[in-house]
Structure 1
Amino acid sequence: MNADYLHKFMFPELDIRGHLVLLDQSLADATAFAEYPDTVYELLAQSLCTTVLLSATLKIEGSTSLQARSTGPVSMLMAEANHRHEIRGIARFSETPASSRINEAFADKATLAITLSPEKGQRYQGIVALSHPTLAACVEDYFERSEQLPTHLWLFQHKAADSAQTPGRMRTGGLLIQCLPTDDRARQALEWERIGHLANTLKVEEVFDLPVVDILYRLFHEDDIQLLSSDKVRFSCSCSEQRFLDALHSLPVDERESMRKEQEVIDLTCQFCGKAYHLPSSSLAPAG
């Protein structure tokens, strides 16, 4: 399958849609600014892949993010994708989890926040417990509880010598299928079960080795299926000097005033992209 492309497809007679993505160079670029152990890297890669798929289901201009926090080995994980299919992400960990399974990476009662941030309009956030062993199952649970749209998600990871990743790292792919509102729910329910069963036969090596048209034909050759678009996915960071200034102005007054008086220049580094900012302390408004 074409690496770093998001493919959108549709079953027009069934009111079911799907998205297929493979991250390679975009994933290498997004994770180039920190050293992650394999298990943390795999979780972050899965999260980035998932945000691309989730953002593709929305008809808004803006971003979709996943953020998990816990007291376990992985204390924070955040992944973001926008309508231009630009991704970025970060993870923090206190120790290396034994595996990338949710119950080993995060503590009990950890939660996953899924946030939709339109460029115009009100932000929406849904929260789901990280109560399943895989990220895919947790996201399916979110859709069942919050969106009430039947959704299946599969995530795939595979080591490949010709990947853009560091040798031994994994490329990551994902397949999402979802029901759309329909007047014939009974028929759709039957077809949904069948389509889900066919999608579940997709093999890891097919995701990474076959062109998208071959994957769709192999899975759904008996159905009327339309490949709607194939859009490039890339890493991009939305950091800016103004965003850092806004963050500094949100600090408590006494802390901000101390920085303004004690430092001529405030040195900051974006943890998503590694870009350094050198802000004159005079840019911080004095307490008044």
Structure 2
Amino acid sequence: MFGYVVTRILSAVPVMAVVATIVFLLLHLTPGDPATIIAGEQATAAEIERIRTSLGLDRPLLQQFVGWLLRILSGDLGTSIYSGKPVTELILQRLEPTVSLALLTLSIAIVIAVPTGVIAAWKEGTWVDWTLMFLAIVFFSMPIFITGYILIYNFSVQWRMLPVQGYRSLSDGIGPFLSHMILPAISLGLVYASLLARMSRSAMLEVLHQDYIRTARAKGLGTSKVLFLHALKNAAVPIITTIGIGLILLISGVVVVESVFAIPGIGRLTVDAILRRDYPIIQGVILFFSFVYVIINLLIDLTYRLVDPRIKY
């Protein structure tokens, strides 16, 4: 396994190199003068020149790229044009709300989706199956911000059960934390759960038609043991793969959810940076999410062996 891990890490290097190149060119491929666009129409010549100098746009392109790449390798993602703070520091400050939202969303999605997919496969072709899969299609097709506004209107405005916006850290108590995070997590989790439920159903259907499942039933094993002890364990690999793929939805959805619920996370930082044309933050966030996604994909691949010992790396 060690050799496999080393190979995967080495294969991630060219991927990150391509991402870094695209992120660097993001600023330079912008039509017009990037410094003028960032500064705005009302900026003076001195302000434009200051931005051009701070971004290193007054140097040759190759020199800019080499210098920028060396700073990235040392952990320096640049400095925010708007606040003057290091981008790395800004990302770390916003990391807790985003990680909390992602983990809570992931937990809700798995708890909802896996049993739903198992039940739908068990009741294949019945009204239960059709109803569950219809709801999965509806929630997957519904934009995340629409779901968020519906939840806000009902639970916050009409019934006044939960706060509308904001974030409370887990250090403030589990109650305040959940009261602020449950609606954002459900808004994002319903989309993620819908994808995962459909894949869980497909994987379970393939397994439930195998001979050893019929043998287990013939031996008199209970339905719950057949479904969750035998079938689900052997259907786990495609489900885990879907969890990894679904993280793309999770990462992109965080940006929308944090904007709707005013959560001070990395997603909200990205939106503010785009509105302010703060390119160093945009570049830093893209690199950060790309790195996280590569690491998560590696971890997902390594979990295959835990659920299926037959897999060889």
Report the TM-score when normalising by structure 1: 0.27
> Which protein is richer in strand relative to its size?
1
TM-score (norm 2): 0.26
